[in-house]
Structure 1
Amino acid sequence: MFDCGRIGVKEALAPMFMENPDSTGSNAAIVAVEQARDLLLAALGGVSFGLLGDEESLTMLLALESVGRVVDGARVLSTTDVLRRSEYFDASAAKNAAAQAAAVQTAAVQTASVQTVAAEVAGAESGRTESGSTESVIPEGATPSAAALAAPTLARRLGCRSGVDLVCTLARLSRAEVRQRAALGEKAGERMLLGRPLTPTYPVLGEALQGGAVGVEQARVIVKVLDGLRSSVLIEDLDRVERSLVASGSGAITPETEGLPGAGIAFAPELLRQQGIQW
């Protein structure tokens, strides 16, 4: 394990990569993200923003925001995924712990059997037999299930007390930022049940966030509005509100926004908040 606050990402994850050397290199998405970062650095490395013309400056802003929304959405979903993984016990570690506990239990049972036989032989030689006098020497809690529960989580394996500490250390974020990402990711991100993906709580918003159609701040406003309405409206109405807010945030014209004032214009968070109040 490593000290959660004193080591870099590569050093921290090196043991995991040594166990699975091809786990990241063969992932096309990770390779593409790393290549995109290099391309972006090369494109922006020599740019002097102050020397851009007015039109170029505005175009640059729009281009960077478009890329930033995609990256920010992915950061929210990735953070939520790591936090989720940090809540569950590591499967391989649990399996190894259970196997070790089973071996200990088997050895203890064998030892108890030998002691019982020895006691019976000694009793027979002395002309008396005592039954039930031999206590079991099986260690308390040395069962496969108990050992499995003692297996470390992903965060514990890397020396961190929690998933929040792990993400804060690796991503260099504040705890407040990690919690904000987690709160949004829980509603807009893909959920998991027994290793199987489930539809997000707000699937239309989730698709827009991952696709960069809306930004993180816009998404938080939309979630707050939907959460406030969730207990008082029908599912069909909540779905209509979700589609309307996402369309307003992205500037798309949909059946929910067609004909409304500002249709086709992407609303900033403040305007989305005002629209939400009307619901």
Structure 2
Amino acid sequence: MNGIVEALEQVRSSLLDVMGFDDPAGWSDQELLAATAAIEAVGRVIDARRVACAGEVGERSRVDLGGERLSTRRGCRSAAELLERVTQVSGAEARRRIALGAATRSRRGLTGDPLEARYPEVGSALAEGELGADAACTIVRELDGTRRVADPVDLRSAEHELVAAALATGDDAPVRCSADELRVQAQAWAAFLDQDGPEPDDERAMRRRGFRFGRARDGLVPVGGELLPEVAAGLRRLFDAHLAPRSGGGFMTAEERADIERNGEQRTADQQRHDVVAAIIATAARSGEHPTIGGAAPTVLVSVRAADLAAGRGVAHAEGVEIPVSMRAARQLICTGGTQQVTFDGVGRVVGLGSPERCFTPHQRRAITLRDGGCLIPGCSVPAAWCEIHHVVPDVDGGPTHTDNGVLLCWFHHRTIETSGWGIRMVGGVPQVRPPAWLDRGGGWRQVTKSPTRLADRVERRSAAVA
């Protein structure tokens, strides 16, 4: 044992030497991202050993051991408290490590025979440093609630598919899933494994539901209560519609903003608020519930010369603002709102007026929404109602205004699709996404969707294939 401790101390000393680098502010973008990924890979190896040791601390502190519990012999009330004192981590982190360690460690039966871990694939990927502790916790937490009713074969299939999604070894994973993206897929699997749902929790929730008005004070009336999940979802939807999309950030909680930051959000809070306003304006204009102007929905008119548009240079001009807008902005507006060609003669007289075109109909939008489920870019959580429809093949290249050529993108990803490195193509009317090289240098094209129905179908197909 002393040898292990001494070896780890040497590793720690070596790491301090290796990581005694200068301020990353002086690195290039490629150097910064490469170093970040490498450091995270080392961290995953450390996390795996942290979890393994925490699991063993929990095992040696089992309640049935009584006074012989390791935690008791060290003067602590629980394994979590003991781990807190040894590692100086928070109580929540200590409990998380112990729970994950218990789920991924080998066990002993009543006769003393060795038993497989509850989640062997998670444990193996974790031990090899391929799977992060947060992603592993997500898989275990979501699937554990179904263990009492799930078929063991289906449960093992779910674990396998989720680990594959986290490591990008599955057929449908364009990039490694983050823990939050993995949670969505794990919840789809949990719904498949336990199709009756948590009935006792539902009954208890029905008894506790309520909404109350408090006593007025300082000119305000406080409210409180507990909402059923489906009612809360509807209320959140209304907030989304009137305040901000989930990834806008302008009106999000601190927890939601931190969640987006973990997923790689690069916009500042001010930029996110701007994008919220842009989404609100676009959504309200096409809702059909606002007064019309000249018999049409409120629409911004943007003028651009056909020659400039074809050449991709010059500027465009939006009605109501004095400064010009960029050609990239003009192309986005054309992609979203359609075009109408107006022809002038040499002195400025209108001599030709084309029909409005290239605008997706409400029926097409509903169909694309059901297919895509939200912004198509992995990791983006902007809901479908806040998205714009992007023509995958531009009109100038012969792209039709058809469901087979339209995908949902949020305002930000639509505006930056030409420069961000993300690739989108349609194969048989189904969208495929390719990540930028900086995110996944060897990444290929993969089908992607955020539609809950299509995700559920995918789960059932995989389960049937495994069976």
Both proteins in one fold, TM over 0.5: yes
Checking the alignment, whether the CA contact within 8 Å between 1:73 and 1:210 is kept in structure 2 is yes
Q: 1:233 to 1:85 in 2, by over 3 A?
A: closer
2:9 to 23, 27, 34: 34
Deviation at 1:245, TM superposition (A): 0.4
Which residue of the partner structure matches residue 61 of structure 2? 86
Which residue of the partner structure matches residue 26 of structure 2? 51
Deviation at 1:230, TM superposition (A): 2.7
Deviation at 1:57, TM superposition (A): 0.5
Cα distance between partner residues in 1 of 2:84 and 2:187:
34
Q: 1:44 to 1:242 in 2, by over 3 A?
A: same
Deviation per residue, 1:193-222 (Å, 9 max, x gap): 577653210101111111111111111211
**What amino acid maps onto 2:153 in structure 1?**
E
When normalised by structure 2's length, the TM-score is: 0.37
Which residue of the partner structure matches residue 177 of structure 2? 267
Checking the alignment, whether the CA contact within 8 Å between 1:66 and 1:212 is kept in structure 2 is yes
Deviation at 1:173, TM superposition (A): 1.6
Cα distance between partner residues in 2 of 1:231 and 1:215:
26
Which residue of the partner structure matches residue 49 of structure 2? 74
Task: Calculate percent identity across the aligned residue pairs.
Answer: 35
Cα distance between partner residues in 1 of 2:62 and 2:179:
32
Which residue of the partner structure matches residue 63 of structure 1? 38
Deviation at 1:52, TM superposition (A): 1.6
Cα distance between partner residues in 2 of 1:210 and 1:39:
22
For the pair 1:184 / 2:100, whether they are aligned, the reply is yes
Q: 1:243 to 1:163 in 2, by over 3 A?
A: same
Equivalences for 1:137-152 in 2 at 5 Å? Answer: 152=68
Which residue of the partner structure matches residue 240 of structure 1? 157
Q: Please state which structure has a larger fraction of its residues in strand.
A: 2
Equivalences for 1:114-263 in 2 at 5 Å? Answer: 152-193=68-109, 197-252=114-169, 257-258=170-171, 260=172, 262-263=173-174
**What amino acid maps onto 1:266 in structure 2?**
R
Deviation at 1:35, TM superposition (A): 2.2
Deviation at 1:156, TM superposition (A): 3.3
Q: 1:180 to 1:231 in 2, by over 3 A?
A: same
3-state SS of 1:182 partner: helix
Deviation at 1:231, TM superposition (A): 3.6
**What amino acid maps onto 1:68 in structure 2?**
G
| Larger RCO (CA under 8 A, 6+ residues apart) | 1
Bigger Rg over Cα: 1
Q: 1:163 to 1:270 in 2, by over 3 A?
A: closer
**What amino acid maps onto 2:57 in structure 1?**
V
Q: 1:155 to 1:271 in 2, by over 3 A?
A: closer
Q: 1:235 to 1:153 in 2, by over 3 A?
A: closer
Q: 1:205 to 1:162 in 2, by over 3 A?
A: same
Q: 1:162 to 1:224 in 2, by over 3 A?
A: closer
Cα distance between partner residues in 2 of 1:277 and 1:88:
31
Q: 1:217 to 1:160 in 2, by over 3 A?
A: same
Which residue of the partner structure matches residue 186 of structure 2? 276
Cα distance between partner residues in 2 of 1:168 and 1:79:
10
Checking the alignment, whether the CA contact within 8 Å between 2:100 and 2:137 is kept in structure 1 is yes
Which residue of the partner structure matches residue 123 of structure 1? none
**What amino acid maps onto 1:198 in structure 2?**
L
**What amino acid maps onto 1:270 in structure 2?**
D
Q: 1:40 to 1:193 in 2, by over 3 A?
A: farther
Which residue of the partner structure matches residue 371 of structure 2? none
Q: 1:158 to 1:251 in 2, by over 3 A?
A: same
3-state SS of 2:2 partner: coil
Checking the alignment, whether the CA contact within 8 Å between 2:58 and 2:102 is kept in structure 1 is no
Deviation at 1:56, TM superposition (A): 0.7
- Give unpaired runs (5+ residues) of structure 1: 1-23, 91-148
Checking the alignment, whether the CA contact within 8 Å between 1:202 and 1:242 is kept in structure 2 is yes
Cα distance between partner residues in 1 of 2:154 and 2:45:
28
Checking the alignment, whether the CA contact within 8 Å between 1:190 and 1:197 is kept in structure 2 is yes
**What amino acid maps onto 1:52 in structure 2?**
W
Deviation per residue, 1:88-136 (Å, 9 max, x gap): 799xxxxxxxxxxxxxxxxxxxxxxxxxxxxxxxxxxxxxxxxxxxxxx
Deviation per residue, 1:208-263 (Å, 9 max, x gap): 111111111111211123224434432222111111100110122xxxx33x3x25
Cα distance between partner residues in 2 of 1:167 and 1:238:
31
Which residue of the partner structure matches residue 372 of structure 2? none
**What amino acid maps onto 1:212 in structure 2?**
G
Checking the alignment, whether the CA contact within 8 Å between 1:89 and 1:154 is kept in structure 2 is no
Cα distance between partner residues in 2 of 1:68 and 1:200:
23
Q: 1:172 to 1:274 in 2, by over 3 A?
A: same
Deviation per residue, 1:1-43 (Å, 9 max, x gap): xxxxxxxxxxxxxxxxxxxxxxx2244xx44332221111111
